[in-house]
Amino acid sequence: MGSWFPPNSRIGLSKHFAPTERLSSLRALISFAAIHKFNFHQMDVQSAFLNAPLQEEICLEIPQGVSANKETQVLQLNRALYRLKQASLAWYKHLSNWLITSGFLCSITDPCVFWRRGKKPI
C-alpha cells in the first residue's frame, strides 16, 4: 500500500477520531426496549469505511513496483480506505447524515445513539 499524506501535515489526530457508543448507553437502550417491548434493531455494514466520502483532500504516493504514468506522482483518494486515520470519522459523518435525513434523532448525551418514532419504514 502506498503512503498517504494530507496537504497540510499539521492536522492533529484528534480531529479524525469518531465517537464510539458508551456501554452505559447500550445497556440503557436494551433495558428500555425490553421493558416497553419495543423492537430493537442493529446492523452491520460490510466494507463500511469504503462507502464514506472524504471531507478533505488526501493523496497517496504510488507504491514502488506499480507502473504509472510518468506525469502522475501521487493519487488523490475519493473515498476512505481502511487504516486511514480519517476513515472512521468520515464513515460516522456519512452514516449519521443518512440517519438524520431518514427521520432519526441523535442523542444529545451520546452521539452514537439514534432513535426514530413511528412505524413508517425507512
Closest CA to 1 of 89, 88, 81: 81
Q: Is residue 13 included in any domain, yes or no?
A: no
Q: Is residue 4 included in any domain, yes or no?
A: no
Q: Is residue 87 included in any domain, yes or no?
A: yes
Q: Is residue 60 included in any domain, yes or no?
A: yes
Element (H, E) at 114: strand 114-115
pLDDT at 101: 94
- Mean pLDDT, contiguous 10-residue spans, the chain (122 residues): 51 69 91 88 82 84 72 78 85 93 92 83 66
pLDDT at 65: 75
Q: Is residue 8 included in any domain, yes or no?
A: no
Number of domains in the chain: 1
Q: Is residue 106 included in any domain, yes or no?
A: yes
pLDDT at 1: 47
Q: Is residue 5 included in any domain, yes or no?
A: no
Q: Is residue 9 included in any domain, yes or no?
A: no
pTM here is 0.71
Q: Give the residue numbers spanning the domain of 43.
A: 19-115
DSSP for residue 34: H
Closest CA to 84 of 56, 108, 112, 104: 56
